[in-house]
């Protein structure tokens, strides 16, 4: 079943992006829900050359972070 749904960006208030010395980006997405049943935060890392690196680097910069 094909849909025309567009992805919804993760809200900035639930997002943390860190750029490491080696250039890798570490992205943490805070979970939602009641504290007693909340899942752990999702953590991803991206390096230059990864398909999503450019997207996350632009989000990093949009948050006012410096390279």
* Residue-range definition of the domain harbouring residue 53: 13-62
* Domain-located, residue 26: yes
Exposure b/e, 20-32, CB count within 10 A at least 16 = b? eeeeebebeeeee
Look at residue 2 and tell me whether its pLDDT is greater than 70: no
Which phi and psi (to 5°) does residue 40 adopt?
A: -65, 155
Model confidence at 64, in pLDDT bands (50, 70, 90)? Answer: confident
Q: Tens digits of per-residue pLDDT, 14-42?
A: 999 999 999 999 999 999 888 888 899 99
* Domain-located, residue 25: yes
* Domain-located, residue 31: yes
CB atoms within 10 A of CB 17: 20
* Domain-located, residue 3: no
For a pLDDT cut of 70, what percent of the chain falls above it?
A: 96
Cut 0.75: pTM above it:
yes
């Amino acid at each position: 079943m094909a849909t025309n749904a567009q992805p919804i960006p993760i809200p900035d208030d639930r997002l943390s992006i860190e750029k490491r010395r080696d250039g890798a980006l570490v992205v943490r997405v805070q979970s939602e829900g009641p504290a007693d049943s909340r899942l752990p935060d999702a953590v991803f890392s991206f390096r230059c050359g990864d398909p999503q690196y450019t997207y996350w680097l632009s989000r990093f910069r949009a948050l006012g972070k410096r390279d």
